[in-house]
Amino acid sequence: MASSSDPWVKEYNEAVKIADDINAMISERSYLPASGPETQRHASAIRRKITILGTRLDGLQSLLSRPAVKPLTEKEMNRRKDMIANLRSKANQMASAFNMSNFANRDSLLGPEIKPDAMSRTAGLDNSGLVAEQDEDLEQLEETVVSTKHIALAVNEELDMQTRLIDDLDYHVDVTDSRLRRVQKNLAILTKRTGGGCSCMCMLLAVIGIVILVVAIYLLIKYL
């Protein structure tokens, strides 16, 4: 059994904790309205968590591909690969439930991840110090590429969320504008029919219409 001080084990435990957090957030959805800004914000937070989980899993896979100070047995290596595969399968299921089509096909966004093979790079080279330094640089570059990839995915998901919120706001503004036009039309018709004898009533209706419009706009700003 691997020690809890093993960096890979620590990373895996963190990934499991993130997966548990996502499951808890998904359970909380049952207490939220079926739709609305609050529900959409909650879903966006879950998507971000799933993206972070994907980054952790890629990091775990990358750690397995690097030479270890104490080489793993074949049995332990296969066990860890199975642990990653099982957790990634759960992550893919959660991503699919939230229509995160890019999550399962991350390689199609920025290309396949770099899998450096240090043993093949160092074979036959005499200047081991230089090669080791180059390996470290490549590992840092790999981590940067993976991090950038998932930042791009998270930004893409957030943009989709904001676009849906803006579309919803535009719809409510159009509805409010349509209602205001109807009120104005009705006031114009009423004015023509009654002449100048009901100016007070017309002014009252106009004030009521304006109040309704202001309240509608306030509610839109407050909840959207």
When divided into structural domains, the chain yields a total of 1
Look at residues 142, 224, 135 and name the one whose alpha carbon lies nearest to residue 176: 224
pLDDT, position 109? 42
Per-residue pLDDT tens over the stretch 15-73: 999 999 999 999 998 888 888 888 888 888 898 899 899 888 988 988 888 776 778 88
Examine residue 183 and state whether it is found in any structural domain, yes or no. no
Per-residue pLDDT tens over the stretch 187-209: 777 767 665 555 666 677 777 87
Domain extent at residue 77? 1-101
Mean pLDDT of the residues in the chain? 75
Examine residue 41 and state whether it is found in any structural domain, yes or no. yes
pLDDT, position 121? 46
Examine residue 224 and state whether it is found in any structural domain, yes or no. no
Q: Phi then psi for 66, rounded to 5 degrees?
A: -90, 150
Look at residues 61, 154, 52 and name the one whose alpha carbon lies nearest to residue 102: 154
Examine residue 153 and state whether it is found in any structural domain, yes or no. no
CATH code (residue 86): 1.20.58
Crossing angle between the packed helical segments 74-97 and 37-65, to the nearest 10 degrees: 160
Examine residue 177 and state whether it is found in any structural domain, yes or no. no
Examine residue 198 and state whether it is found in any structural domain, yes or no. no
Q: Residue 163 pLDDT > 70, yes or no?
A: yes
Examine residue 108 and state whether it is found in any structural domain, yes or no. no
Examine residue 190 and state whether it is found in any structural domain, yes or no. no
Q: What is the pTM of this model?
A: 0.50
Q: Phi then psi for 214, rounded to 5 degrees?
A: -65, -45
